[in-house]
Structure 1
């Protein structure tokens, strides 16, 4: 079974709320690593599996895919989504003013306080997280995410907005954004907006989405990055899967490590951490496992032992306490014939793990080869 389901008793909402948590593959064994949390709205079981599956597939070092960092997925189930996700009380839908299903609307501020003061506090207490979080919202969920961006932008660093409900209360978000964005020059976020083809229903959806995108593009905040995509072949209810993939891909674009770039020039990894800090706002190093995998591709598949050595050497600088990276570097040195350097690697492993019998055996084999050579 994927993930685990939890319940939180909310004093702010005066109700119990269910949510599911997916932990990435490395979470259990990599006990020092911290993770970005992606909060998924409308988070029933199918949505939880959808987002978790896409995120897992996009970070797979075994398959040489490192498009995004590993994410903790928190998928929040609904009780009354109209109440929770809408910023104003309104019965309006496009040209109608009598939508009785909207009577409970207008409590987005309460839900935002629930997320900030209760749910996110609980998640940060229970799991290893970085300060930067993501919100993924579709339809009214996208409307709520837009509301967070305008009213409390520091709450999230990454916004994946999937065909948001621009229509709400006569395009309330469009009007509010003109007021807010005109005076903000300190927004620090990456934003992806996906629009579905709703032209047969009403062209205003597309127009309002475009208008909001242009307002963001015109904003003078130096740390604000935004992208927009119109999915002509997708409807409102089918756009979520492609939008989630392309959204994650854009939002974490700087995180990508291209195997061909690294095997051509391993020094591209040297400035990686600074680039991530500047463009994604958090501290990280090039992924140890992925870089190691690239090193083996260079060593054996592409027959580039010197390149492989450079890659492994960079990995030992980034992860000097890792037995695995020292063992990989020793292997590359051995293939290249640098026995003395390989010997030092195994000696380093034994300082980290004195009882490591594999390292002891390999060190003994190397010493015998060195004696024979001399």
Structure 2
């Protein structure tokens, strides 16, 4: 028993030293970062919104100081920016998309409730009659036009004639809303699993109203749904996809797709990858097909 106590005492006395040794043995590795990327927090604007931009610059950016680049703006940048940049790097390597700048749209600050923030920002219509914290997409669109576009075009050589927009879910709904509300702002749109059902198919009413004007939409549009979305949610997407050929928007080139085997969030990777290929096709260095 005495020997056990002595051994236990020795072990306990050795623990602090062992712990210190273990802590010292772990190197201070640098955090992982996405290459050629930066975060830029913007001052709070007139609507009290504090935006943060996730910016990825193409490989040639520093070497070609007089060159301007197309820009893909992506909603929910705090979630989707890494996915889009990863796919972009692969597609650009294959020469099926041009070099372009990616801007993830997000919010500055720590411990944020992204669900609440994005509901205010991305919904063009109130999610329900009492939800005053939704339905402000026009204010977000105005912030893009008045604050974010000028900054990118001044400080990062973004080409004002080559803007593109992508988003998923509510971000996809915002993307469709932007196309109808301000069709002159963007040359291409990727709407991944857009929340068409919001406001009882509100966006379908906007699409029909715009089509009735006969005005063109000089852009490319890629719309997806996921095979295993919530059934009612997917049905809304399918209603919009089925309506697109009937609307006959002059000059709009579009493609619909259902991502097989995926649910709501899992569809993002393929939706963005295929969407980028489609909307940037006119600027692609190559067609994407293998050479004989």
User: Which category of TM-score, normalised to the shorter sequence, fits these structures?
Assistant: 0.7 to 0.9
Q: Cα 1:166–1:222, aligned 2, differ >3 Å: closer, same or farther?
A: closer
1:106 equivalent in alignment to 2:135: yes
* Map of 2:92 onto structure 1: 59
SS of the equivalent of 1:15 reads coil
Q: How does 1:194-273 map to 2 (within 5 A)?
A: 194-198=224-228, 201-202=230-231, 204-254=232-282, 255-258=284-287
Could you tell me which runs of 5 or more consecutive residues in structure 2 were left unpaired when the two chains were aligned: 1-32, 108-113
Deviations 1:213-269 (A, max 9, x none): 3433234444210000001211001000011111111112332515988x78xxxxx
Q: Cα 1:159–1:259, aligned 2, differ >3 Å: closer, same or farther?
A: closer
**TM-score normalized by the length of structure 1:** 0.62
* Map of 2:122 onto structure 1: 85
* Map of 2:174 onto structure 1: 144
1:17 equivalent in alignment to 2:46: no
Q: Cα 1:104–1:198, aligned 2, differ >3 Å: closer, same or farther?
A: farther
Q: Cα 1:259–1:141, aligned 2, differ >3 Å: closer, same or farther?
A: closer
Corresponding residue to 1:48 among 76, 81, 103: 81
SS of the equivalent of 1:48 reads helix
Matches of 2:170 and 2:289 in 1, distance apart?
A: 41
1:169 offset after TM fit, Å?
1.1
* Map of 1:27 onto structure 2: 61
The runs of 4+ residues in structure 1 deviating greater than 6 Å are none
Higher-RCO chain (CA-CA 8 Å, sequence separation at least 6):
2
Q: How does 1:1-374 map to 2 (within 5 A)?
A: 1-2=33-34, 3-44=37-78, 46-60=79-93, 65-78=94-107, 80-91=117-128, 102-130=131-159, 131-198=161-228, 201-202=230-231, 204-254=232-282, 255-258=284-287
Matches of 2:170 and 2:287 in 1, distance apart?
A: 36
Q: Cα 1:133–1:259, aligned 2, differ >3 Å: closer, same or farther?
A: closer
Matches of 2:92 and 2:266 in 1, distance apart?
A: 24
Matches of 1:171 and 1:19 in 2, distance apart?
A: 30
Whose radius of gyration is greater, 1 or 2?
1
Matches of 2:243 and 2:49 in 1, distance apart?
A: 37
1:12·1:114 contact (CA, 8 Å) conserved in 2?
no
1:208 offset after TM fit, Å?
2.5
- Larger helix proportion of the pair: 1
Matches of 1:197 and 1:104 in 2, distance apart?
A: 31
Q: CA RMSD in A?
A: 2.2
1:37·1:133 contact (CA, 8 Å) conserved in 2?
yes
Matches of 1:82 and 1:172 in 2, distance apart?
A: 16
Q: Cα 1:113–1:144, aligned 2, differ >3 Å: closer, same or farther?
A: same
1:136·1:160 contact (CA, 8 Å) conserved in 2?
yes
Matches of 2:132 and 2:288 in 1, distance apart?
A: 54
Matches of 2:288 and 2:180 in 1, distance apart?
A: 38
Matches of 2:254 and 2:54 in 1, distance apart?
A: 29
1:150·1:180 contact (CA, 8 Å) conserved in 2?
yes
1:12 offset after TM fit, Å?
3.5
